Structure 1
Amino acid sequence: MTNLYSSTHPKSLAIADLGCSSGPNTRLASPEYQVFLNDLPGNDFNTIFRSLPGFQERMKKQLEGGTGPLFFTGVPGSFYGRLFPTNSLHFVYSSYSLQWLSKVPNGLEGNKGNIYMAGGSPPSVLKAYYDQFQRDFSSFLTCRSEELVTGCRMALAILGRRSQDPSSKECCYIWELLAMAVKEMCMRAVAEPLLIGHFGFGEAIIDDVFRRYKAIIADRMGKGKTEFVNVVVAMTKKG
């Protein structure tokens, strides 16, 4: 960030955090001037804004010389489209947001029982996810190339994998576990009234059944070694 500022000398350094969420990772912006916090309109921007005064005080203490004026702006909208004026940003940052697609891909009819790519997904489903990511990522790069000032930079952190298998546990295991949780909820919604109606099972017995089921899932996770691959990409806009 220091090198970027020294090489461009902008009067106001504009920084965009795309997919800022509403947790503590939001406040990783550099202590410069304009900071744009972007996420979908449903994001809890109020939580972010309430945390900013404390963040600014901590920054002043960490930097003995203090900071220049900090102006924060919430920017609701999808980062798969244009968000900022042409040539208006000096630094763009996105952390673990680009794995979220703009929409559910078409052609997932054969992916029954899964909420994402899984070991049992047919090739057509894997291709559908691949094609959707290609379209989304291309759109993201096109929009950011128009918004970034020439010579300025973008850093992206995303989940990746070493395996050639797009459904490998390196990147899909967390979604398989989530699918298990969803299935459990569906099973309970269907099975509970049937069991109580036909066999007179009470709530305590039903709860015990699903506690045992959760224990099986925990045991499966404990036996397998799960590693996640992080990919960091840094880019500079050329003239």
Structure 2
Amino acid sequence: MGLHMNGSDEEVSYAKNSSLQRKVISLTKPLREEAITNLYCDTLPKSLAIADLGCSSGPNTLLVISEFIKVVENLCRKFNHKSPEYKVFMNDLSENDFNSVFKSLDTFKENLYHEMKTEIGPCYFFGAPGSFYGRIFPDKSLHFVHSSYGLHWLSKVFFIFFMIINYIYLSSTSPSNVLKVYYEQFQRDFSLFLECRAKELVEGGCMILTIPGRKVDDPSNKECCYIWDLMSIILNDMVLEGIISKEKLDTFNISVYYPSPFEVNKKVLEEGSFTINKLEISEVNWNTLDHWEALDIGSEMSKSFKDDGYNMAQCVRAGIESLLVCHFGKSVIEEIFDRYKNLLSDRMSKERTKFTNLTLLLTRNP
């Protein structure tokens, strides 16, 4: 589908526009620490293999890995154990900016050693390009899998323009057959994801998955569709003004699905390879400047942010610009996001805008 996060460290890169995703990662930290502690204490491994699926690039990429190693190292000191070795696998689609990830490893290791103040177990890093809707790793080779804000992306692009009128995603006007297409594709993708990871994880291995979702039953509810409703308004206006062709818009759809807790729980039980230890629901504001103190992000980084609409537009752009360029061409991108920024600023000043997140802690069954 041509999807990849914007690489490099330029103004429109994912590296500089992923504070919302960092906020989500920070919310799930207590659950990760609990899972890692239980995993280590139950197995006392000499070697630990960790995979981050949908790692992207930028400051968030190695955040969870750093937390994982620090928790294990502190447990080793507490129990006077020898540190294990760490095998870290970074996965994303092949178009991902892996070079920037690899270039940051020396600094990452130096910072980690400095923070821990003593020697830690040896760390080995590997890139693992490819879709996680398929096998990536050998049988029973992983102990811990993490994925945040990746599993809402579906494996297929839908060309159903005759069913979605003037919208690029599900909406309150979408016919039931359109909702069914998206839901069934999510079911197939999520089931395949679970099946593949079950083969790759050791018995008792665990996964923590965070998926943008919804609390309500209706998949076309504003709770999960609003961000795309606003993009639809922009693109439709540009069609009316002759900037974008109607035919191009009619064949452009955002292939994501925001599941409910019931849908996720149902599919895990049906697939049967994992036990759900916890399923938590959280919310984050669209406003990326909320809760800076909780995130412990420095004031220098916060100074680089502008108004709410600009920040949110940049966040969306970092994620889907590759899709828009592939479909509409590069010449209209600045116009799209300039208008999007203004519309977001207007709506965010008047409405309570939040994303809902579902976080699952899963353990591989015997």
| TM-score, length of structure 1 as denominator length | 0.84
Q: Kindly indicate whether the alpha-carbon contact (under 8 Å) linking 1:80 and 1:139 is maintained by their aligned counterparts in 2.
A: yes
**2:6 is equivalent to residue 6 of structure 1:** no
Residue by residue, what CA displacement relative to the aligned partner does 1:77-121 show, whole Å, maximum 9, x if unpaired? 000000000100000000010000011246553113222112221
SS in 1 for 2:191: helix
Equivalence for 1:223 = 350
Q: Kindly indicate whether the alpha-carbon contact (under 8 Å) linking 2:87 and 2:123 is maintained by their aligned counterparts in 1.
A: yes
How far apart are residue 127 of structure 1 and its match? Answer: 0.9
**2:58 is equivalent to residue 23 of structure 1:** yes
In terms of mean alpha carbon deviation, does 24-33 or 36-45 score higher? 24-33
- Structure 2 distance, partners of 1:86, 1:230, is 30
**2:183 is equivalent to residue 130 of structure 1:** yes
- Structure 2 distance, partners of 1:106, 1:211, is 27
Where does the alignment leave 5 or more consecutive residues of structure 2 unmatched? 1-35, 70-84, 245-333
- Structure 1 distance, partners of 2:239, 2:339, is 16
- Structure 1 distance, partners of 2:226, 2:46, is 46
Partner amino acid for 1:92?
A: V
- Structure 1 distance, partners of 2:228, 2:339, is 21
**2:285 is equivalent to residue 158 of structure 1:** no
Q: Cα 1:3–1:125, aligned 2, differ >3 Å: closer, same or farther?
A: same
Q: Cα 1:139–1:6, aligned 2, differ >3 Å: closer, same or farther?
A: same
In terms of mean alpha carbon deviation, does 163-172 or 123-132 score higher? 163-172
The alignment of Structure 1 onto Structure 2 pairs a total of residues equal to 223
Q: Cα 1:109–1:182, aligned 2, differ >3 Å: closer, same or farther?
A: same
Q: How does 1:1-239 map onto structure 2 within 5 Å?
A: 1-27=36-62, 28-29=64-65, 30-31=68-69, 33-105=86-158, 107=160, 109-184=162-237, 186=239, 190=243, 215=342, 218-239=345-366
How far apart are residue 61 of structure 1 and its match? Answer: 1.7
How far apart are residue 214 of structure 1 and its match? Answer: 6.1
Partner amino acid for 1:5?
A: Y
- Structure 2 distance, partners of 1:189, 1:8, is 63
- Structure 1 distance, partners of 2:339, 2:102, is 42
Root-mean-square deviation (CA), in Å? Answer: 2.5
Q: Kindly indicate whether the alpha-carbon contact (under 8 Å) linking 1:80 and 1:136 is maintained by their aligned counterparts in 2.
A: yes
Partner amino acid for 1:109?
A: F
- Structure 1 distance, partners of 2:163, 2:58, is 36
Partner amino acid for 1:76?
A: P
Q: Kindly indicate whether the alpha-carbon contact (under 8 Å) linking 2:138 and 2:200 is maintained by their aligned counterparts in 1.
A: yes
In terms of mean alpha carbon deviation, does 128-137 or 174-183 score higher? 174-183
How far apart are residue 122 of structure 1 and its match? Answer: 1.5
Partner amino acid for 2:58?
A: G
- Structure 2 distance, partners of 1:213, 1:73, is 38
- Structure 2 distance, partners of 1:185, 1:60, is 52
How far apart are residue 178 of structure 1 and its match? Answer: 2.8
Q: Cα 1:9–1:167, aligned 2, differ >3 Å: closer, same or farther?
A: same
Q: Cα 1:72–1:185, aligned 2, differ >3 Å: closer, same or farther?
A: farther
Q: Kindly indicate whether the alpha-carbon contact (under 8 Å) linking 1:107 and 1:124 is maintained by their aligned counterparts in 2.
A: no
How far apart are residue 41 of structure 1 and its match? Answer: 0.5
- Structure 1 distance, partners of 2:240, 2:109, is 48
Equivalence for 2:21 = none
Partner amino acid for 1:155?
A: I
Q: Kindly indicate whether the alpha-carbon contact (under 8 Å) linking 2:148 and 2:211 is maintained by their aligned counterparts in 1.
A: yes
Equivalence for 1:200 = none
- Structure 2 distance, partners of 1:145, 1:106, is 32
Q: Cα 1:108–1:129, aligned 2, differ >3 Å: closer, same or farther?
A: farther
How far apart are residue 162 of structure 1 and its match? Answer: 1.4
- Structure 1 distance, partners of 2:152, 2:102, is 25
Q: Kindly indicate whether the alpha-carbon contact (under 8 Å) linking 2:230 and 2:340 is maintained by their aligned counterparts in 1.
A: no
